[in-house]
Amino acid sequence: MRAVLATQPGGPDALEIVELPDPTPGPGEVVVDIAAAGLNRADLLQRQGHYPPPPGATDVLGMECSGTVSAVGEGVEGWQVGDEVCALLASGGYATRVAVPAGQLMPVPEGLSLVDAAALPEVAATVWSNVVMTGRLGEGDAFLVHGGSGGIGTFAIQLAHALGARVFTTVGSPQKRAAADELGADVIIDYREQDFVEVVAEQTGGRGVDVILDNMGAKYLTRNISALADGGRLVIIGMQGGVKAELNIAQLLNKRGSVIATALRSRPVDGPMGKAAICASVVEHVWPLVASGAVVPVIHDRLPLDRVADAHALMESGEHRGKILLTV
Ligand SMILES: NC(=O)c1ccc[n+]([C@@H]2O[C@H](COP(=O)([O-])OP(=O)(O)OC[C@H]3O[C@@H](n4cnc5c(N)ncnc54)[C@H](OP(=O)(O)O)[C@@H]3O)[C@@H](O)[C@H]2O)c1
């Protein structure tokens, strides 16, 4: 099979397309012939040598894909050769084939092409598990997602809107403001021009938001807690603004607030909040919203696997809106 590795950490040019032996399915696994793979910000970190795949996972980049099942391992039930699927992966998606635990497979949502389904597994699993399963966002709640123009942000705005929440988001330019508006965001804050804590306070009569999905980490910790309502939940999933910050416990305690930090990639497959349980919950609750058109994958571009370096450079530029896909 053809696959993408970054054997020497570096810029986009460090990515190499190599020939590797085809994977075979172990017990409980299937092999997928890949149609497309989604890019994720963590892939840039892996390329730079900062985010290795979990132990036992392949070094081939790529945390999600879509394609057709081509082999089924021992003990797998419910999937057959020829099924069209999308999958959450620990790694291995930037390739022509990948072996994946069957619990991380999901059917292609109704109405979506096989290629475009590659835009969904990582954002759907991340947003659903953090915002709803962990953050307990409900109808009528106020929700803030930072980075409303990115892969995670474009999906989170639509999902929270579909669930009946009032959606706040931060964006970095007027063009991205317009895009967030189209997706259903109620209050859009340009983080280069406005202070999100002030806007949230103004718009909620000083109450704050119930759930925040944060990609910035250290840089926004204090301000995120200021923007939380009493009993609010701050769920941190990214570290784009650094890893170390000071936490004012009195401020959090007085609000009876929670700060939660999670990662999808390092979770076990099994268990109540494992990858298989998250994928099953996504199929049950999110796929009907995709099939009805209430939530659509926002895809900035689809580039062939040979242009993987261009795809990484595009994500690094920050000029994209939504997901970037590699087609195989
Ligand atoms: N923990 C997990 O399990 C998990 C899983 C998936 C993703 N993530 C994390 O989620 C984050 C988003 O991932 P992605 O794939 O959606 O990446 P992406 O498409 O590259 O989006 C990154 C976003 O960050 C925004 N941003 C940059 N500086 C900002 C600032 N100062 N304030 C607010 N937003 C800012 C950008 O907004 P502008 O373009 O408008 O500047 C952009 O929307 C990443 O940090 C990623 O590592 C975590």
pLDDT given at position 33: 98
CB of 46 shorter than 6 A to ligand 1:
no
pLDDT given at position 323: 97
What's the 114 CA to ligand 1 centre distance in angstroms?
25
Q: Where are the domain boundaries for CATH 3.90.180.10 in the chain?
A: 2-120+297-327
Nearest-angstrom CA–CA distance, 240 and 178: 23
Nearest-angstrom CA–CA distance, 18 and 305: 12
Residue type, 309: A
Domain 2-120+297-327 fold is Quinone Oxidoreductase; Chain A, domain 1 (3.90.180)
CB of 240 shorter than 6 A to ligand 1:
yes
Summary mean pLDDT of the chain: 97
Residue ranges for the chain with pLDDT beneath 70 = none
Domain 124-261 fold is Rossmann fold (3.40.50)
What is the residue-wise DSSP string for 76-130? --S--TT-EEEEE-SS--SBSEEEEEGGGEEEPPTT--TTGGGGSHHHHHHHIII
Nearest-angstrom CA–CA distance, 143 and 233: 10
What's the 127 CA to ligand 1 centre distance in angstroms?
12
Provide CB contacts within 8 A for 255, sequence distance 6+: 208, 225, 228, 229, 230, 231, 232
- Rounded to 10 deg, the angle between the 151-162 and 174-183 helix axes is 40
What's the 5 CA to ligand 1 centre distance in angstroms?
23
Nearest-angstrom CA–CA distance, 131 and 295: 15
What's the 149 CA to ligand 1 centre distance in angstroms?
8
pLDDT given at position 263: 96
pLDDT given at position 151: 93
pLDDT given at position 115: 98
CB of 263 shorter than 6 A to ligand 1:
yes
What's the 62 CA to ligand 1 centre distance in angstroms?
17
Q: Whose CA is nearest to atom 26 of ligand 1?
A: 147
Q: Where are the domain boundaries for CATH 3.40.50.720 in the chain?
A: 124-261
CB of 215 shorter than 6 A to ligand 1:
yes
Number of the ligand 1 atom closest to the C-alpha atom of 153 = 16
Q: Is 77 exposed, middle or buried (0-12, 13-18, 19+ CB in 10 A)?
A: exposed
pLDDT given at position 17: 98
